[in-house]
Chains A and B, each alone.
Chain A
Amino acid sequence: MKTRFKLLALLMVLVLIMGITGCVKSGETSGTQGQMTEENKSGDISKTDSTEDGEELEFVELTFLMMGNVPTNGQLELAMAEWNKILEEEINAHLKIEWVEWADWLTKYNLLMASGEPIDLITSGDWLDMWPNAQKGAFMPLDDLLQYAPLTSADITAEEWETCKLDDTTYFFPEQNYTQYVNHGFYYRGDWAKEFGIDKVTDYESFGQYLQGVADNKEGVVPWDANGSKFDLYDGWIISETDSLELLMVPTGYHKAVWAESKENKYTAYSPIFNDTFMEFAKTMQEWGDAGYWREDVLNFKGDTRELFKAGQSGADQHHTQTYRGLRWEMDNLIPGSEIGFYPFGSTRKNLTQLSIIHGATAIGANSQNPERAVMAYEILRQNEEFYRLFVYGREGVQYEIVDGVKTRPEGYNDADHEFYTDFWSGREDKFELPTDTEYAGIYDLWAEFDSYAIPDPYSRFIFDRTPVEAELAAISDVTSALGPAITYGKTGDPEAAVVEYREKLKKAGIDKVLEEVQRQLDDYKVMVEGK
């Protein structure tokens, strides 16, 4: 009996061990399999010389992985039928869209990447864990495939290609021909500012004057009905008052504690919290809070400032340029003559970084069955106007009409029946984009202004390894989350004492060690970038 039990126990342990190792093993094999197929494929590519026109290609079905919920009104299928006609003619293929829905999207997306399903084109980007997934072998190297997208590839400069490489292998097509700015700032009522004799808000000082004007002249309106969980007041101050550049990859909680010094010294890390400018900030915010520029219980207020702004109950609102693009148009219709102004933080000292060109990027799946054809389809998408507009806007006459070069909605259009989207955010082309009648027409002037002084994102390839300072970062986050809000909204009573205490606590939490580590990694990064 006993021996029997022992045997059984042994058996169970064995089964367990096998189970565990089985997992590992299968993982390994699937990894090597992936590589094997990749090698085979690249071998195939070298064998099949570039497909000449006239050579018969056999018909294939391609898939493009997108982020978004499945449209259910049937419009996508109708547009798909149209674009497949073009594809059939050009490369004898069909392209359909696979969706990753918004419910828990990052988990789902990364699982798909790990599972090695044979997807052809994949939406990726810096917000979609592009580098970890590339490291895990989710994507196919593009170097041998670029020949199938000659125009698109030629359009991308050597420097831009560098941003798409991991260990000298190209994995991504960047979205380098599309203008979008997501730099933050304040929105304010232009009509009110004129009333108070302010022509344009250009810095914190003039913004303060505007808020004072609202407080003095607009009964029942909160000058800026801010939501205390928003931290941009501090970010804006640093961008507006100094030349510092954000280092978004170093997470420090409520306040960004680590910045790079300036455009000129972009590889020098420092903390503005320990400079006079921060003391200045704390004192100014104390004044603003005392003057009632936001509500007394701002730190607990969780309201929707945008809606309050639209309803004329808040004198200001805070978000980025893209939001301004739609908001201004909306407000022009809602409150004609409101002339919503936008004060981008970066405009004060012309301190502005462009969005990384790999914020949206397209990759080819490691297990794609038809990588060459997928790249050809991508080329058509980025070079064929008719196809592009079908893919991005839908069908002309149903989803949109072009009136004097502006995209408008046709008679009888309604969202429920005609809404169309493919959520293609990884390779849009300004040359095919149309201005729409649901946006502020002045946005293009604003962009032109930004273009004149914005610099390309210098940190798009900087992957900060947090492991050595994980504990310190967590401790710093605790400190910034505990003391940051009160300083930001001037609720400390004694800003000087609060800043002194704040600095002490940050020191204790290990800010110096973090700065050292960031500096060390920035030095390495500098060698990597400039060594080329």
Chain B
Amino acid sequence: MIEKNNKLSSKKDSGKVIMTAVSYVFITFFTLACLLPFILMLSSSLTSEKSVIINGFNLWPKEFSTLAYKIIFENPKDILGGYIVTILLTTIGTALGLWIISMTGYALQRKDFAWRNKITYFFYFTTLFSGGLVPYYLLMTKYLGLKDNYLAILLPGLMSPWLIILMRNFMKSIPHSITESAKIDGANDFQIYTKLIMPLAKPALATIGLFLALQYWNEWYNAMLFLSPNVEHRPLQLYLYNVVTQAESIKNSAANSNVPPQDMPNETIKMAVGIIATGPVIIFYPFVQKYFIQGITIGAVKG
């Protein structure tokens, strides 16, 4: 530390330094606390099942084993196919979803659009009730004929009322005068939307894009319902979910009595699945983090 002549400032300085030091220590511990579960997951996925059962989970594998990964990668074709489907679904779904949601959100807040609040309420209204699973299933399979069709998992995510309303509220903070002046300059509505509004709405796009991307990345339920095993490549999460449940059900199935239960490494498989499923997200996240932090504060200050 450099000694200062001015008492007051040195006081201030030392206070600052202490404050900074405390903050750093705190942040470091907090980071470690967040990191621990991941390390635990990674180490457990590389431990032999027996050791996990007898010693519990440890931060360092007591008995090293890659059996869990071996079982999951038994069919590399499936995992690769799963990744490809999931990545395509995520990119297409996010791009398309952002486009539709942002257009809707923009239109719904234009002050010169008379019924904007009515229609917004109509969107919101659909979130209050659900027809139930069976009608939904029948609608998708019988009436829309989307069984075994990738559209069945792409479409439901594209128009999320909740995201539309979020988008609309953000767009409200963009001054209406921008739209008006552009109109006077002779721009049509679509030009205003692409050239002026979209660049201004970047933080919102990033946030909502992240929501969409996560939603598509973790999509398994619709895939489970509408993509039967006849579809060769299904989303990664569904494949992994099946690996886990297969291991469990073989162990517990009372009906399955002919087959002596194989020694499936249940616990370690779960951990390995976790690693495989979250890995890409963790790698990708730092790149969009700054937008996300901006986005979190959407509507916090600006009304």
Contacts and interface: CB of A to CB of B under 8 A. Distances in A.
B142 interface: yes
B54 interface: yes
Contact of B242 (A1, A12, A102): A102
B90 to A, nearest CB: 20
B245 A115 contact: no
Given A326-B260, A416-B74, A103 B255 contact: no
B282 to A, nearest CB: 24
Contact of A111 (B114, B122, B137): B137
A322 B255 contact: no
Interface string A481-519: 000000000000000000000000000000000000000
Contacts of A70: 229
B138 A114 contact: yes
B54 A311 contact: yes
A111 B133 CA distance: 8
Contact of B54 (A8, A127, A307, A415): A307
Interface stretch (A22-30, A210-218, A262-270, A523-531): A22-30
B118 A313 contact: no
A72 B49 CA distance: 24
Given A67-B255, A103-B238, A111-B133, A26 B260 contact: no
B141 interface: yes
Interface string A30-64: 10000000000000000000000000000000000
Given A8-B118, A69-B242, A102-B246, A111 B225 contact: yes
Interface in B24-61: 49-50, 53-54
A326 B258 CA distance: 10
30 contacts: A5-B115, A12-B122, A26-B138, A69-B229, A70-B229, A72-B77, A98-B228, A99-B229, A101-B224, A101-B229, A101-B242, A101-B246, A103-B220, A104-B221, A104-B224, A111-B134, A111-B137, A114-B134, A180-B257, A182-B257, A303-B53, A307-B53, A322-B254, A322-B257, A326-B260, A329-B260, A359-B255, A425-B257, A438-B260, A439-B260
Interface string A392-432: 10000000000000000000000110000101010010000
Nearest to A110: B134
Contacts of B257: 180, 182, 322, 325, 425
Contact of B131 (A23, A308, A322): A23
Contacts of B53: 303-304, 307-308
Nearest to A330: B260
B142 A115 contact: yes
Interface of B: 49-50, 53-54, 74-75, 77-78, 114-115, 118, 122, 131, 133-135, 137-138, 141-143, 220-221, 224-225, 228-230, 238, 241-242, 245-246, 248-249, 254-262
B268 to A, nearest CB: 12
A223 interface: no
Contacts of B54: 307-308, 311, 313
Contacts of A8: 115, 118
B254 A103 contact: no
Interface residues of A, number: 54
Contacts, number: 105
Contacts of A416: 74
Contacts of A307: 49-50, 53-54
A360 interface: yes
A371 interface: no
Contacts of B261: 323, 326
B78 to A, nearest CB: 7
Given A69-B242, A103-B242, A115 B255 contact: no
Given A308-B53, A320-B254, 18 more contacts: A9-B118, A23-B131, A26-B138, A30-B138, A72-B77, A72-B78, A101-B246, A108-B224, A117-B141, A125-B255, A127-B255, A307-B49, A322-B254, A326-B260, A360-B255, A421-B259, A425-B255, A439-B260
Nearest to B70: A416
A356 B137 CA distance: 32
B141 A115 contact: yes
Nearest to A136: B134
A491 B95 CA distance: 59
A303 to B, nearest CB: 7
Contacts of A329: 260
Nearest to B140: A115
Nearest to B220: A103
A107 B242 contact: no
